[in-house]
Amino acid sequence: MGESRHGPRERMVFSAAQLIRRDGVAATGMREVAAHAGAPRGSLQHYFPGGKEQLVNEAVGWAGRYAGKRIARFLAGLEEPTPSGLFAAMVAQWTDEYTARGFAAGCPVAAATVDCASADGSTREAVAAAFTTWRAPLAEALTGMGVPAARAESLATLMISTLEGAILMSRAEQDAQPLTTAARELGPLLDAAVTPAG
């Protein structure tokens, strides 16, 4: 959607993220990325002289920024902002995709973590940074809802952990139930953390 509006470089990063979250890092080929992006193969070494590692890192970074920006958009979509509502929206993004397009893909950051966390390249720092750029706006959103700052950090971490794990389990079982269960069970806990109601 709207791929032609972006340059070929950005399209390749986007395609890399798509393929990585579906097949994993190791199983995603450079030629495959170029083909998926409709970009010429020769552009790979031109835009990514750092090779596959650079491309993967940028894909992970893109995913992290995307997730971070989504927080604000989810927040804007809630008529009455509550932690449980925000978490439900985060979960719904995945249940919607899974019911509409199947359980083909997971989170690209998770895939890169699994495939590259032990190989101490720059990719491990990239995934750490991605989680940070995801968690920071989430914690900020929680504080904006009345959650104490210290607690907000913990709950933001918990929300991302649970979401990532639920994505994983739902994909494995090809059933969105782990995702819906996470939203349902965690919601009250999150709402109970707002100060005026505590």
Alpha helices, H only, 78-176? 83-101, 108-116, 122-144, 149-173
Binding part of the chain for DNA, among 35-43, 100-108, 121-129, 155-163 by CB under 7 A, reads 35-43
DSSP letter for each residue of 101-126: H-S----HHHHHHHHHSSS-SHHHHH
Binding part of the chain for DNA, among 41-49, 75-83, 170-178, 186-194 by CB under 7 A, reads 41-49
Q: How far apart are CA 121 and CA 107, in angstroms?
A: 20
Q: How far apart are CA 9 and CA 126, in angstroms?
A: 19
Please report whether residue 16 would count as binding DNA according to CB under 7 A.
Answer: no
Judged by CB, which is closer to a second copy: 11, or 135? 135
Please report whether residue 173 would count as binding a second copy according to CB under 8 A.
Answer: yes
Residue 160, CA distances (Å) to 42, 47, 142 in order = 37, 32, 13
Q: What is the dihedral of CA 164, 166, 168, 169, to 10 degrees?
A: 160
82 to 101: interface string for a second copy, x by CB under 8 A: --------------------
DSSP letter for each residue of 21-45: HHH-STT--HHHHHHHHT--THHHH
Judged by CB, which is closer to DNA: 118, or 197? 118
Q: How far apart are the first and last CA of the chain?
A: 44
Q: Which residues inside 113-142 make contact with a second copy, applying CB under 8 A? A: 113-115, 117-119, 124, 127-128, 130-132
Please report whether residue 160 would count as binding a second copy according to CB under 8 A.
Answer: yes
CB of 197 to a second copy, least distance (A): 15
17 to 36: interface string for a second copy, x by CB under 8 A: -----xxxxxx---------
Which residues 6+ apart lie within 8 Å of 68 measured at CB?
133, 134, 136, 137, 138
Judged by CB, which is closer to DNA: 29, or 188? 29
Q: How many CB atoms lie within 10 A of CB 14?
A: 20
The contact set with a second copy (CB under 8 A) reads 22-27, 103-106, 109-111, 113-115, 117-119, 124, 127-128, 130-132, 154-155, 157-158, 160-166, 168-169, 171-174, 177-178, 181-182, 184-186, 188-189
The contact set with DNA (CB under 7 A) reads 8, 27-32, 39-47, 51-53
